Chain A
């Protein structure tokens, strides 16, 4: 199965942690379908850790759903999610237990993959907790990948080893479709800037078929839910977060409560121009325009356009600038670039230099097109 552009969906973890029930999953499915998320491309509804028991069925060896969460089993929930035109994702772990000490898939990968396929699962998030310490992790991801491919159903495989063991160097060969590259996100500006700063030099391994996953988004959570830390969030910092996830070609997995998130954040998360940058068919990673740690990125798009992002992490507004020479445009090229602000529609023509204001802890994102001038 080839995943041609970064996956988009929702995961329960950020909002619910371990406290979700049959009813919540159905309501989330309703909200994804009814509030425009599904139409914008968010198709996977992923149930994270804590859905299953700490032991297996003694006769079949299969995992067992928690009856307190799913009194009628998980199958009717999966069917409901499918009835909304969505795909269903589930969670397991390469270890003997999950991070929440529920049953993991170690040495039962094929049994579990067959079970998931039989239930109609479309996506597996595969964590890395409680793995036997002397077992090679790469082999475990290969093994679950083969098990899923052998299951008879197309199941997207989302590796989640938090960037350990140089995962970028082997995970594509191991058959995964996405790979988490860092520790867990918090709903905090410093958390997500740490995440994306750590990945800039590794983005060359993120490409069609297997994508670097920067973790579930916290956009719109505003301190609610399961991953709140402090109060370092705002509309503008969420704009930065979503812009970076789009520029970096990360899977877009919503973490906010899509039932209640405000319309302004829904509109940001469904912004068609930003999603088009994320879903560009060439899936090229951006490059840092500056040689220091300024957050200025440029990404090549398949129609010949360029996406630009300028992030101001300071607590004061400031001017930021672009010299197109740095991305490859020379004075004798005969071209200029027309920058169009994806939020305001403002157009700025640029030949050799341009400077523009960026508000405090905010960003500017442009789509640039080449224009022949002689």
Chain B
């Protein structure tokens, strides 16, 4: 499956499994529509592994029909009618991280089952594996099984212990994550020296942030800014109808989503070494993004020079920085200092103009 830009969606995978059934899933699907999240690109609904019945049948995974009376196929059909792709979590080992049956040595039957049921997105957790089999081989195997069943399946790898930055693209993975499910809004950058591995076709996944009605706006902003800089898949664990208007407006902000979905999908590059981070990212159409992220506990001034960005005297260019989340506009020839509140981020779109000499 060719994912030229990262995918987006909503997840309820971290909910108590007892609260996940067809009715609640469809309720979230309707929320995705009424909140406008679907229309701006959050098109996957990830339901986790709560659908998996305790026992296999004829060697294949089964859907818990008490929760999903029509099976996954009925659910996926109803979601498809709404324009939503059904996403599920499976386990490559003996069981999933929540203790449901895993797919080890059943990869091909399970992949065919998921394809037949209309699942379009499969996140696969690589835990509870036997020790004496190569983990990368299992990542390849599950990918091969999914490709054989449906070559258009989105295959997302969750491999907490080892991420195989330099090999994962050679598997069928569309994205890979080396962090556990986020317990908070925080999402993670890949190590600076590994960012070069993230690109169209197979993206580093910064993690799924968890938002609720009490989530701080700064956390929501920092999460989506981080994901947009790295062109990370962005699947948000939340109940959309519970999110505040301010949080929804950040998640739907067209400028930040344009950075997240930029067709060049180049990773951002860190421009400094302190915990008050500044990143720049090349965008399609001769534009750039600059993000100032303050991970410290006090407000900070964060510095960016046009020279470090890539200009010099020969360029004779002025940088015009338009803030994504408010109306601020800054022009600078040599450097800029941006004040960022503790735990918050500021994001700008940069364009270049001929300087007044």
Contacts and interface: CB of A to CB of B under 8 A. Distances in A.
Interface of A: 1-2, 107-111, 139, 142-143, 145-147, 149-150, 166, 168-175, 201-205, 207-210, 281-287, 299-300, 302-304, 326-330, 332-335, 370
Interface string B131-153: 00000010011111101100100
Nearest to B106: A332
B113 interface: no
A286 B169 CA distance: 9
Contact of A302 (B2, B165, B284): B2
Contacts, number: 157
Nearest to A167: B196
Given A139-B307, A173-B195, A175-B282, 17 more contacts: A2-B263, A109-B314, A110-B316, A139-B310, A143-B315, A146-B352, A150-B286, A169-B194, A204-B170, A207-B201, A208-B4, A286-B170, A287-B140, A300-B171, A329-B141, A332-B109, A335-B148
A287 B167 contact: yes
A142 B309 contact: yes
A208 B166 contact: no
B264 interface: yes
Nearest to A175: B282
5 contacts: A110-B314, A142-B309, A142-B310, A143-B310, A205-B197
B311 interface: yes
A172 B286 contact: no
A329 B144 contact: yes
Contact of A204 (B2, B197, B316, B352): B197
A281 B4 CA distance: 10
A273 B265 CA distance: 29
A150 B165 CA distance: 32
B172 interface: yes
Contact of B310 (A2, A146, A202): A146
B90 interface: no
B104 to A, nearest CB: 10
Contacts of B49: none
10 interchain residue pairs of minimum CB distance: A328-B144, A207-B199, A328-B141, A142-B310, A173-B269, A208-B200, A287-B170, A204-B166, A328-B140, A333-B108
Interface residues of B, number: 57
Nearest to B202: A207
A201 B166 contact: yes
A204 B168 contact: yes
Contacts of B4: 208
Interface string B276-308: 000001101010000000000000000000011
Given A110-B314, A283-B201, A173 B2 contact: no
B166 A205 contact: yes
B169 A327 contact: no
B167 A204 contact: yes
Given A142-B309, A173-B281, A335-B148, A107 B266 contact: no
Contact of B169 (A2, A145, A207, A302): A207
B69 to A, nearest CB: 29
User: Chain B at the A interface: mostly helix, strand, loop or mixed?
Assistant: mixed
Contact of B199 (A172, A303, A334): A172
Contacts of A204: 165-170, 197
A37 to B, nearest CB: 27
A299 B352 contact: no
Contacts of A171: 196
A21 to B, nearest CB: 31
Contact of B148 (A175, A287, A333): A333
Given A173-B281, A284-B170, A333 B145 contact: yes
B124 to A, nearest CB: 13
Contacts of A285: 169-170
A284 to B, nearest CB: 6
A224 B333 CA distance: 51
Contact of A334 (B108, B169, B266, B307): B108
Interface string B299-334: 000000001111111111100000000000000000
A208 B199 contact: yes
A314 B104 CA distance: 39
Q: Which of A107, A202, A207, A329 has the most B CB atoms < 10 Å from its CB?
A: A207
B266 A175 contact: yes
B266 A330 contact: no
Contacts of B245: none
A172 B195 CA distance: 9
A172 B262 CA distance: 14
Given A146-B311, A300-B170, A173 B266 contact: yes
B144 to A, nearest CB: 4
A332 B59 CA distance: 11
B268 interface: yes
B18 interface: no
B199 A210 contact: yes
Contacts of B125: none
Interface in B37-74: none
Contacts of A147: 315
Contacts of B161: none
